[in-house]
Structure 1
Amino acid sequence: MGGRAAAVLVHGLYHRPEHFAPVADGLRAEGVEVVVPELHRGSLAADTAAVQAAVDALEGPPLLLGHSYGGSVITGVRGARHLVYLAAFVPDVGESAAALGGASPQLRDAVVPGEGADGATRLDPGRAADLLYGDCPGPLAARAVGLLRPQAPGCGRGVPEHHGWKLVPSTYVVCAGDRALDPALQRTLAARCTGVREWATGHSPFVSRPALVVDLVAELFGTVSART
């Protein structure tokens, strides 16, 4: 497969591309071209289109990594060489992230209704640190919480029109210490993927253990290269 190794990293709800900065820097140091699109486009279809545009702009098929809701996004994107689902949703035909469920009661309690006309919600920062970054040192968790942004409603109810995991190799990473997305649901969704890993991390290893993510992606590029 020609072209430089490339990875597209897709964040989840409430997050920003900046949350993936340590992983992006680590992959670039390994010679991988990295793109981290900004989501929050208002719907799953719009978020998917933004990532599709990033994929189409690359020389060759990239590895796509989706975290949490980002799994729904990468599922609908065409042209990937490998899909990585990091504590993420892997929807099948007619399924949405919301329909699959799995959000912990603590996560649901942490959602603060918006006051604006757009109905956007946010996460209570006092609860988000423990839920999303509970395995991070305090200052690192505080920085990650500070990057969180409000989220428009409805994205999680979107249903992908394409299901890439049925067509290309995929790897699921179960985060066994996840306090936001039920690890039992993660293991069920992982059965849809080609390969499965399980890490003893919380919901956001790209913050708490970025080297784990970098090493996995580098390993998968080696596997793909050997097979192509």
Structure 2
Amino acid sequence: MAAVVLVHGLYHRPAHFALVAEPLRTAGTEVVVPELHKGSLSADTAVVQAVIDSLPEPPIVLGHSYGGSVITGLRGAGHLVYLAAFVPDVGESAATLGGASPQLQDAINPEPDGSTSLYPDRAADTLYSDCPEPLAACAVGLLRTQASGCGRGIPERHSWKHAPSTYIVCTQDRAIDPVLQRKMALRCTYVREWQTGHSPFVGQPDLIVELLQELLAANTSRQPDDGVTTAR
């Protein structure tokens, strides 16, 4: 069985994926959640590439938000999952594609050293608006500062042109406009829409677990069975 690699977005940590990783591991799937925050898109991509290179077969790789830029630059993924994520083409970055929504931009707190953090109350309302309050509070507590410039990084290759991919549009997202998500989803092989906010790995992790188990059980070159439409 292929492994699963979960790639978090800006300000996030591997621990944000705990409610997805734990049930998959309990079911016998190898799950790797790399720590990003290496200072640039190229450095973050290299960390995830090293994980993929260490695995015995091509894994399913899920990227959330900025994590979409990271997984776009990879080699050797068996199936890509873009979760409310950026899908850059040649010369594009997350920033040039549209970047953060005005609400997310308003939640950003500039730090004296040039990094940024998120105001906790605004982060909760933007990233975890549909999550139960205790889970949202826990997720906000895990957020960390972010080095500047990662969102302006341009991937060196474009894995969605070489591997099958599924885009998840989060229709209640307040961090990345769902209209922009649908536009980027046109670059992927399959699309499905979930009635969630930006972070279903916190509020509705079962949706992600079920999707990944479906992909694990299927030939990754085939279209998943439930609710998936061909996008290109």
TM range (shorter): over 0.9
Question: Among 146, 161, 164, which residue is 2:156 paired with?
Answer: 161
Gaps of 5+ in 1: none
Amino acid at match of 1:135: D
**Residue 25 of structure 1 pairs with residue 17 of structure 2:** no
CA-to-aligned-CA distance 1:95-146 (integer Å, 9 cap, x gap): 0001101421111111000112xx1100000100010001111111000000
**Residue 141 of structure 1 pairs with residue 158 of structure 2:** no
Amino acid at match of 2:196: T
* 1:84 counterpart SS class: strand
Identity over the aligned pairs, expressed in percent? 70
CA-to-aligned-CA distance 1:57-113 (integer Å, 9 cap, x gap): 111110100000000000001000000000000000000001101421111111000
Moved over 3 A (4+): none
* Pairwise CA distance, 1:226: 8.2
Distance 1:225 1:172 in 2: 14
* 1:214 counterpart SS class: helix
* 1:9 counterpart SS class: strand
CA RMSD of aligned residues (A): 1.1
Match of 2:87 in 1: 90
Distance 2:29 2:193 in 1: 24
Distance 1:198 1:225 in 2: 19
Amino acid at match of 1:32: T
Question: Among 11, 18, 21, which residue is 2:8 paired with?
Answer: 11
* 1:172 counterpart SS class: strand
Distance 1:32 1:196 in 2: 24
Partners of 1:96 and 1:156 within 8 A in 2: yes
Match of 2:124 in 1: 129
Change in CA separation of 1:225 and 1:169 when aligned onto 2, cut-off 3 Å: closer
Amino acid at match of 2:81: V
TM-score, normalised by the number of residues in structure 1: 0.95
**Residue 217 of structure 1 pairs with residue 212 of structure 2:** yes
TM-score, normalised by the number of residues in structure 2: 0.94
**Residue 200 of structure 1 pairs with residue 195 of structure 2:** yes
Match of 1:150 in 2: 145
* 2:91 counterpart SS class: coil
* 1:224 counterpart SS class: coil
